[in-house]
Amino acid sequence: MKNRFFLLGVALLFAAEIVALVVFAVQTPDSSQDAVAVNEVVQTVTNDFDDIDSHKNKTALDYVVIDNNGDVLYRTRSGLSENINAAITHRDTVLDIEKDGTVVGKVIIYNDGAQTLQAQKQTAVTVLSTAVAVQALICIGYAVYMYISVIRPFKRLKGFAERVAGGNLDIPLAMDRQNLFGAFTESFDIMRSELRQARLSEAQAQKSKKELVAKLSHDIKTPIASIKAVAETGVAVTRNAKDRTNYTQIVTKADQINTLVTDLFTATLEELQQLTVTPTDIESKRIKTMLENADYFRRATVPDIPDCLVYADPLRLQQVFDNIFANAYKYADNTEIVVGVHKTAERLDISIEDHGGGVDDVELPILKEKYRRGKNATHIEGAGLGLYISDYFMKNMRGELKIENGSHGLKVTVSLLPSGF
């Protein structure tokens, strides 16, 4: 409906402009004068010629009276043609004044056709200028409307698509149901919800699969260990060479089965090795933004990072900081988080320490192992993969992940190499 009104308004303005142009184009200046008024001028001037000083103009015309010598006897106002040549040039009307059949002078009646034409031009220009200005305002208003109702929603949709492509399926798409594309954008948010649910279902299925494989591997290894133990006992006590050979074969096959089960269990955990790490030279100032993005509860004050180039994969480094802050949130409750920065010629260290009290010193070495967590995490949900993945990423960026007990809690230090090392 809005588009219809806009197009109708523009069409009407355009038609008005065309009509004004046509009228102005076909119009010709009217150089004719009122014959009655002209006759009245000639008659009154003839009657008053002998006493021209007492002559009064009784018409709306301007004129000049001259004698046969070209001398001006009377004028209605200044600025009029006062000789025959000027009158001809200006296309004025020149008439003889006769008394008793003799020409005693001439009256030059001013032709105001040029002024009339100029006034018409001015009117046409004013009308057209007004129409163009109104048309421009309508177009500007429509452009603003199109930006608000079409362009801006598509820009928002582009950012939403980039987040979805990056794996962020938690942030819904803000939409206006009254907007022209309201239903269209709503379908994209439904897609996001479905993708998120599918990812959660897939993650749960993967977890169930790993748990099943781990359970089966444990259950299979237990009888295999018993079989192997009995076979080894047989090898030790039997005196028959053939029996000893058979027992030895059983031990060998038990070891082989045990190896295959171990490989099966390990294969389900090797997805982490498929995560590619592509380090490059990045500016250190980007690290501050990464830290602020990771600290989504805003429990830390992130200091400025010294200017330098470091060797890192921005995506994977962001994941490292995300994992560290997530652990601090999860295991240190709502305590403060302290971020420190230390730069040397050999490395750039970013330390992140919570106020949760830390862990036992004997547990520090196992925190970077797969599925290993401290005793303080017994009743807290988690897989024990965050620090393991972070350590894997740091090693592939030729950096280091250090874990230690700080003054107030667990302290994790991310060490990055400068560019060129």
Q: What is the DSSP string of 323-370?
A: HHHHHHHHHSTT--EEEEEEE-SS-EEEEEEESS----GGGGGGTTST
Alpha-carbon gap, residue 84 to 92, rounded angstroms: 9
Query: Backbone phi, then psi, for 33, in 5-degree steps?
Result: -120, 165
Q: Do 324 and 398 fall into the same domain?
A: yes
Q: What is the mean pLDDT of the chain?
A: 79
Does some domain include residue 224? yes
Q: Are strands 300-301 and 337-343 parallel, antiparallel or unpaired?
A: parallel
Domain boundary among 92, 110, 128: 110
Q: Do 97 and 220 fall into the same domain?
A: no
Q: Do 315 and 211 fall into the same domain?
A: no
State the CB neighbour count (10 A cutoff) for residue 4: 8
The residue among 370, 350, 371, 372 whose CA lies nearest residue 362 is 372
| Residue 243 tokens, joined | 């029996």
Interval 298-313 mean pLDDT: 92
SS3 (DSSP) at 416: strand
Do 414 and 305 form a contact (C-beta atoms < 8 A)? no
Does some domain include residue 192? no
Does some domain include residue 412? yes
Does some domain include residue 46? yes
263, pLDDT greater than 60: no
Do 91 and 31 form a contact (C-beta atoms < 8 A)? yes
Minimum mean pLDDT among 157-166, 241-250, 251-260: which range?
Answer: 157-166
| Residue 61 tokens, joined | 């015309």
Do 337 and 328 form a contact (C-beta atoms < 8 A)? yes
Q: Do 264 and 284 fall into the same domain?
A: no
Token look-up 């009655």 returns 36
Does some domain include residue 334? yes
What is the structure's pLDDT at 354? 92
Q: What residues contact residue 269 under an 8 Å CB cut-off, 6+ apart?
A: 210, 370
Does some domain include residue 97? yes
The residue among 249, 316, 238, 323 whose CA lies nearest residue 276 is 316
Interval 100-110 mean pLDDT: 87
Q: Do 285 and 409 fall into the same domain?
A: yes
Is the pTM higher than 0.75? The answer reads no
Helical (H) or strand (E) element with 105: strand 102-109
278, pLDDT greater than 70: yes
Q: Do 305 and 388 fall into the same domain?
A: yes
Q: Do 214 and 255 fall into the same domain?
A: yes
Q: What is the pLDDT of residues 121-173, one digit of tens each?
A: 777 778 778 877 887 888 888 788 777 777 776 676 666 666 666 666 666 66
**What is the CA angle 196-199-204, rounded to 5?**
130
| Residue 207 tokens, joined | 């977890």
Does some domain include residue 139? no
Domain count, the chain: 3
Domain boundary among 95, 110, 125: 110
| Residue 335 tokens, joined | 């305590």
Minimum mean pLDDT among 191-200, 327-336, 348-357, 372-381: which range?
Answer: 372-381
404, pLDDT greater than 70: yes
Domain span at 67: 35-110
Sheet containing strand 63-67, edge to edge, reads 72-75, 63-67, 102-109, 93-99
| Residue 312 tokens, joined | 């890192």
Does some domain include residue 151? no
The single-letter DSSP state of residue 54 is G
Half-sphere exposure of 293 (CA within 13 A, CB side): 14
Interval 320-337 mean pLDDT: 85
**What is the CA angle 164-171-393, rounded to 5?**
60
Alpha-carbon gap, residue 126 to 397, rounded angstroms: 72
Q: Do 254 and 350 fall into the same domain?
A: no
